[in-house]
Amino acid sequence: MGQNAEQAVRTDIDIAEILARIPHRYPFLLVDRAEDYQPHKSIVGIKCVTVNEPFFQGHFPGNPVMPGVLIIEALAQTGAVLMSKSLEVDTEGKTIFFMSVDNARFRTPVRPGDVIRMEVEVVRARSSIFKFKGVAKVGDKVAAEVEFAAMVVETGPKA
Catalytic residue status for 24? no
Name the pTM for this structure.
0.93
Encode 73-109: b = buried (16+ Cβ within 10 Å), e = exposed.
Answer: bbbbbbbbbbbbbbbebeeeebbbeeeeeeebebeee
What's the rounded mean pLDDT across residues 68-85?
98
Average pLDDT score over the chain: 94
CA 124 to chain CA centroid, Å, is: 17
Confidence of residue 131 (pLDDT cuts 50, 70, 90): very high
Phi and psi angles of residue 73, each rounded to the nearest 5 degrees, phi first: -60, -40
Q: Is the predicted pLDDT of residue 3 greater than 90, yes or no?
A: no
pLDDT confidence bin for 8, thresholds 50/70/90? low
pLDDT of 28 above 70: yes
DSSP characters over the chain: ----HHHHS---B-HHHHHHH----TTS----EEEEEETTTEEEEEEE--TT-GGGGTS-TTS----HHHHHHHHHHHHHHHHHHHHT--TTTEEEEEEEEEEEEE-S---TT-EEEEEEEEEEEETTEEEEEEEEEETTEEEEEEEEEEEEEE-----
When pLDDT is cut at 50, 70 and 90, the band that residue 2 belongs to is very low
C-alpha 158/C-alpha 139 separation (Å) is 39
Catalytic residue (one of 59, 107, 111, 131): 59
